[in-house]
Amino acid sequence: MVWPGSTEQERELLAAKLVGRWRSGAPLTLAPEVDNPALSADPHRNNDFNYSNDPRGRQAPFGCHIRRMNPRDTKLTRLTDVNLHRVIRRGTTYGPPYEKNALSEADDQVPRGAYFLFISAKAMDTIEFLQQE
């Protein structure tokens, strides 16, 4: 069975639409059609954006992670309620990227993964709110 994201480009775009950023870290609002690794390498440009040019959520969908967690200038009440439950979150990866064609999963013993830090004044209330909304 072939699913709608049958090409590598379609799968990458779908992943970017779910998160709101390309794998490089470039935000969809600044690079809506294709990834821009140079943009993601510049921390000032990479985080200096809002959604004023995307009021209908066509570039960064309303439900994407980045827009839900930091609605910035979004006017929709349901999204801006997240400001009442502000969180600080940071993450990083370790180990080399997974190469799906390099080895079988049983042979691949390379340590890799992600560290994630979440800080909130009312962590349980915030998690419950974010999951509900």
Encode pLDDT of 76-124 as tens digits: 555 555 555 567 777 888 988 877 666 666 667 788 888 888 777 777 7
| DSSP SS3 for 13 | helix
Confidence of residue 16 (pLDDT cuts 50, 70, 90): very high
CA distances from 71 to 35, 67, 76, 112 (A): 21, 5, 9, 31
| pLDDT surpassing 60 at residue 25 | yes
Q: Are 84 and 125 in contact (CB under 8 A)?
A: no
pLDDT of residue 75: 66
Percentage of the chain beyond pLDDT 70 is 75
2 φ, ψ (degrees, to nearest 5): -100, 125
pLDDT of residue 30: 92
For residues 48 and 60, give the distance between their C-alpha atoms in angstroms, rounded to a whole number.
Answer: 15
Domain boundaries, the chain: 1-62
pLDDT of residue 17: 94
Give tens-digit pLDDT for 30-84.
999 999 999 989 988 888 888 888 888 899 998 888 887 777 776 655 555 555 5
pTM of this structure: 0.64
pLDDT of residue 1: 42
Smallest Cα–Cα separation from 40: which of 30, 62, 25?
25
* C-alpha count within 13 angstroms, C-beta hemisphere, residue 2: 6
